[in-house]
Amino acid sequence: MKMDEIFVNIGNAINQSIICECIDETNVERQILDYNSFYIIAFIENPISYGRPSLGFCINTSLSCDGMMKRYNLHTDVESNESTEIKF
């Protein structure tokens, strides 16, 4: 496997992991998310979590803000309380 293929595979794995986290933490189905709009905003050192890195990203959905809030407030997943700075 060539080095550029390895980097593409790593990037795809990171993207899929982030999308799965979005689904788990917001109760939004995969088909409602717009993968083409997904982008990473920043990597930062998080002082609240002892300096561990945090990732800021954006992904669009076809839901309205109210529809998104209703799904998020269901908290049906164990990880649904992990999002600390979610913006709608």
The per-residue pLDDT for range 3-62, each reduced to its tens digit, is: 899 989 998 898 888 888 888 888 888 888 887 777 778 888 888 778 888 878 888 888
Look at residue 85 and tell me if it is in a domain.
no
Per-residue pLDDT at 70 exceeds 70: yes
Look at residue 82 and tell me if it is in a domain.
no
- pLDDT given at position 88: 67
Q: Distance between CA atoms of 17 and 7, rounded to whole angstroms?
A: 15
Look at residue 10 and tell me if it is in a domain.
yes
Q: Distance between CA atoms of 8 and 66, rounded to whole angstroms?
A: 36
Domain residues for the domain of 67 are 3-72
User: What is the pTM assigned to this prediction?
Assistant: 0.68
Which long-range contacts does 64-70 make (Cβ < 8 Å, 24+ apart)? 68/26, 68/28
Look at residue 79 and tell me if it is in a domain.
no
Tell me how many domains the chain contains.
1
At a CB cut-off of 8 Å and minimum separation 6, what does 81 contact?
75
Per-residue pLDDT at 71 exceeds 70: yes
